[in-house]
Amino acid sequence: MSLQEARSHIAAARAITILTGAGISADSGVPTFRGTEGLWRNYRAEDLATPEAFARDPRLVWEWYSWRRELIATKQPNPAHLALAELERRRPETFWLITQNVDGLHRAAGSQCLSEIHGNIWKMRCTGCGLVSDNREVPLPILPTCLQCGGLLRPHIVWFGESLLEEDLRRCDEALRSCDLLLVIGTSGMVYPAAGFASVAKEGGALVIEINLESTQQSNLVDLSLQGRAKDLVPLLL
């Protein structure tokens, strides 16, 4: 019943916004943040993905990101990423995809109407002159420096305690308030401001559908929960 229901909501929707988290990339082999396999040695993302950690030990933080880049470099978009890129192609004017993931797999799948609100692991920003550059080198020379000014580069990623880009926040707000359907896929709904996006959409009168392996902090808020793997369920929604 609920899958059929979800399919008809998608078909009938005037404007669709999607919010994805680490769960959509789990099926591509990218570890989630709060999954059992953890993320790296015995560190937690909250310990390393902060400006303080980088100021204290840039080498350790770069070691972690370089390890994640090497892991992600061998991963491909899965049927869930591809299905969302197809959905965008069918309705480019009334579709927006917001992802919390920094792995770049939505872009690799062909998504273009996309906000990568936590940044992208393949981009770097100079702590000296602010230049943002694309860098696909794996493995990385630990402590990469800026070609323009020699300054220390950092991942162009939003760390805990750092604000999201104004432009991204504005675009997300528009996509959340103007849609009549929000699809939340593979996120535990624990990290703000993304964790508040479902209520923004609901305030705007949207119907909210959640796809996850289990119930989450948002489940009490959503209109319909589909339990299962994103790679299996998302393609069935088209």
Contact of residue 126 among Zn ion, ligand BV8, none (CB under 5-8 Å per partner type): Zn ion
Quote the least distance from Cβ 124 to Zn ion, whole Å: 10
CB count in 10 Å sphere of residue 70: 12
Task: Report whether 106 contacts 99 (CB < 8 A).
Answer: yes
Where is 10: in which H helix or E strand?
helix 2-12
15/221 with CB nearer ligand BV8: 221
Choose the binding region for ligand BV8 from 24-32, 81-89, 90-98, 133-141 (rule: CB under 6 A): 24-32
**Is 55 a binder of Zn ion (CB under 5 A)?**
no
Where is 19: in which H helix or E strand?
strand 16-20
Quote the least distance from Cβ 196 to Zn ion, whole Å: 34
Please give the C-alpha separations between residue 168 and each of 5, 115, 119, in angstroms, as whole numbers: 31, 6, 10
Distance of CA 236 to the CA centre of its chain: 21
* Strand-strand pairing, 132-134 and 119-126: antiparallel
**Is 102 a binder of ligand BV8 (CB under 6 A)?**
yes
Quote the least distance from Cβ 26 to ligand BV8, whole Å: 4
Contact flags string 78-117 toward Zn ion, x per CB under 5 A: ----------------------------------------
9 among known catalytic residues? no
Contact of residue 230 among ligand BV8, Zn ion, none (CB under 5-8 Å per partner type): ligand BV8
How far, in Å, CA of 18 to CA of 97, rounded? 5
CB count in 10 Å sphere of residue 108: 17
Quote the least distance from Cβ 118 to ligand BV8, whole Å: 4
Contact of residue 67 among Zn ion, ligand BV8, none (CB under 5-8 Å per partner type): none
Q: Which residues are part of the catalytic machinery?
A: 118
